[in-house]
């Protein structure tokens, strides 16, 4: 049946710069904010913006991701006529077809899009933390009569060299892209959110698919080709909180942002709910000896230590006389007694032995603790040389 706009959510990225966090886990499935996974923010934006026809393109280690999104129930995207569809690479009579780039992933699912005969296609990525009403960008796209509209945000000038910069006229029409410029003319960076007129995008995708030297990427290939042909490309200026959690540093920072009393991204905003699963753990118990300040704590936690500037996902237990600062503890973490953690990220179900001290100094990257890390580096004996080093560090 006909739909005005089909949303294609790219969730296949490897997320290499997240290192340990994306080992066997697609980046959109990485836990975030004490109860969510990164993709929950984008999926919640979809339902809150009434974008009901969503294809989610997966490729890399999708098991947890597929289990998490299912058919979209937590986001009310389990629908009879459209709703959420997972689009994984598949084999057909011509053989197997992995997705080669962001544009190629869409090209390989042209049949899916055509089913809904849409006027517009919106392309999103499942990698960012933000609240955005996609109805507004669609609105602008229609009003400006654009062929493509790119959502953009003003970034600090010193960071412009990390982004794709859009140079526009006063009316926001784009006349130039600069990919990670050394000396940017502008601080308006692309957020990787695009709206296209489908008939035009389809033509460009088919053309791009024939090019042998293309990376089949929107930012590198398709959009520059459209610009070169003089198509109407507009920027949509987004104002609000937006964070690319592409590195362990920025992932950690985004969590510290959540602990500020007033950031423009509230997960308890009744007008813009963030949806996710719930695993039905019991209520959280702060015991007689527990204390929590400037922290987010989820169900099933038992806290007998001191928590400060930290995020505890569900079912984390902290024993007495331990101190957790500026840290992020994933579901099922067990922290023994007399432990000190500062600027540490602990992965799911990891147990931190008693008396462990792990501190990353402010100029270091936060420490990511996995089971292997515990086995290799945190021997429970007090006399381990590494442990000594750590302690002295503190």
What b/e sequence results for 281-309 when a residue is b if at least 16 CB atoms lie within 10 Å of its CB, and e otherwise?
eeebeeeeebebeebbbbbbbbbbbbbbb
Q: Which residue has the tokens 């007008």?
A: 271
Among residues 4, 19, 88, 376, which is the contact residue for a second copy, using CB under 8 A?
A: 88
Site for another protein in 101-160 (CB under 8 A): none
Binders in 40-59 for another protein, by CB under 8 A: 47
SS (H, E, C) 42-58: HHHHHHHCCCCEEEEEC
Q: How far is CA 303 from CA 213, 296, 393, in A?
A: 56, 12, 26
C-alpha closest to that of 49 among 5, 1, 102: 5
- Give the range of 80-88, 233-241, 290-298, 370-378 binding a second copy by CB under 8 A: 80-88
Interface map 91-110 toward a second copy (x if CB under 8 A): xxx--x-x------------
Within 233-262, which residues bind a second copy (CB under 8 A)?
Answer: none
Under rule CB under 8 A, residue 24 binds a second copy: yes
Q: How many other C-beta atoms can be found within 10 angstroms of the C-beta atom of residue 241?
A: 17
Stretch that binds a second copy, among 67-75, 129-137, 207-215, 287-295 (CB under 8 A): 67-75
Residue 2 in contact with a second copy, rule: CB under 8 A: no
C-alpha to C-alpha distance for 146 and 233, rounded to whole angstroms:
6
Closest CB to a second copy among 79 and 162? 79
- Looking at 4, 19, 50, 71, which residue binds a second copy (CB under 8 A)? 71
Binding residues for a second copy, how many (CB under 8 A)? 28
Name which position in 113, 184, 267, 358 contacts another protein (CB under 8 A).
267
Contact set for a second copy, span 110-169 (CB under 8 A): 111-112
Nearer to another protein, 65 or 329 (CB): 329
According to DSSP, the residues that pair with 345 across neighbouring strands are 328, 368
Which tokens hold the place of 80?
Answer: 């009879």
For residues 321 and 304, give the distance between their C-alpha atoms in angstroms, rounded to a whole number.
7
Binding-site member from 202, 302, 337, 338 for another protein (CB under 8 A): 302
| Residue 256 makes contact with another protein by CB under 8 A | no
The residues in 282-301 that bind another protein, with binding defined as CB under 8 A, are 282-300
3-class DSSP state of 393:
helix
Residues 6+ apart with CB under 8 A from 223: 148, 150, 177, 194, 233
**How many chain residues touch another protein (CB under 8 A)?**
46
- Report the nearest approach of another protein to the CB of residue 127 (Å): 21
- Give burial (CB, 10 Å; 0-12/13-18/19+) of 113: buried
Which partner from the list another protein, a second copy, none does 336 bind, CB cut-off 5 to 8 Å by kind?
none
Q: Is 282 in the site for a second copy (CB under 8 A)?
A: no
Smallest gap, in angstroms, from Cβ of residue 380 to another protein?
A: 22
Considering only residues 308 to 337 of the shown chain, the ones binding another protein according to CB under 8 A are 311-313, 315
Give the whole-angstrom CA distance, residue 100 versus residue 374. Answer: 36
The closest of 21, 190, 20, 192 to 123, measured between CA atoms, is: 192
Asked if 1 interacts with another protein (CB under 8 A), we say yes
Residue 356, contacted partner among a second copy, another protein, none, CB below 5-8 A by kind: none
**61 phi, psi to nearest 5 deg:** 35, 60
- Fill in the DSSP letter of residue 84: E
Q: Binding a second copy by CB under 8 A: which of 44, 45, 49, 58?
A: 58
Q: Are 38 and 30 in contact (CB under 8 A)?
A: yes
Residue numbers of the site for another protein (CB under 8 A)? 1, 33-35, 47, 74, 76, 79-80, 261, 266-268, 273-276, 278-300, 302, 307, 311-313, 315
């Amino acid at each position: 049946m006909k739909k005005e706009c089909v949303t294609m959510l790219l969730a296949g990225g490897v997320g290499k710069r997240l290192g340990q966090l994306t080992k066997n886990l697609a980046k959109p499935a990485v836990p975030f904010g004490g109860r969510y996974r990164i993709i929950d923010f984008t999926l919640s934006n979809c339902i809150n913006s009434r974008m009901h026809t969503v294809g989610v393109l997966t490729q890399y280690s999708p098991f947890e991701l597929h289990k998490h999104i299912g058919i979209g129930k937590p986001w009310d995207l389990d629908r009879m006529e459209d709703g959420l569809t997972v689009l994984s690479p598949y084999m057909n009579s011509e053989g197997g077809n992995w997705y080669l780039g962001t544009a190629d992933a869409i090209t390989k699912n042209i049949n899916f899009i055509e089913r809904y005969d849409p006027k517009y296609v919106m392309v999103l990525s499942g990698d960012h933390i933000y609240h955005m009403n996609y109805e507004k960008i669609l609105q602008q796209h229609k009003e400006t009569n654009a062929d493509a509209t790119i959502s953009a945000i003003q970034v600090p000038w010193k960071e412009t060299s990390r982004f794709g910069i859009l140079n526009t006229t006063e009316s926001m029409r784009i006349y130039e892209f600069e990919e990670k410029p050394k000396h940017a003319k502008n601080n308006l960076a692309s957020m990787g959110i695009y709206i296209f007129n489908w008939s035009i995008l389809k033509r460009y995708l088919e053309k791009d698919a024939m090019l042998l030297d293309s990376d089949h990427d929107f930012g590198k290939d398709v959009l520059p080709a459209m610009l070169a042909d003089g198509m109407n490309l507009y920027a949509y200026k987004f104002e609000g909180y937006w964070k690319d959690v592409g590195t362990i540093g920025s992932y950690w920072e985004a969590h510290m942002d959540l602990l500020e009393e007033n950031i423009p991204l509230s997960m308890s905003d009744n007008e813009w709910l963030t949806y996710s699963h719930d695993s039905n753990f019991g209520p959280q118990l702060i015991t007689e000896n527990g204390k929590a300040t400037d922290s987010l704590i989820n169900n099933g936690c038992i806290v007998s230590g001191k928590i400060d500037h930290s995020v505890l996902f569900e079912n984390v237990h902290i024993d007495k006389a331990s101190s957790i600062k500026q840290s992020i503890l994933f579901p099922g973490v067990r922290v023994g007694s007399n432990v000190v953690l500062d600027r540490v990220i602990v992965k799911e179900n990891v147990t931190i032995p008693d008396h462990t001290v792990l501190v990353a100094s402010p100029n270091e990257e936060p420490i990511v603790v996995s089971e292997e890390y515990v086995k290799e580096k945190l021997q429970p004996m007090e006399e381990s040389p590494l442990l000594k080093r750590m302690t002295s560090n503190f």
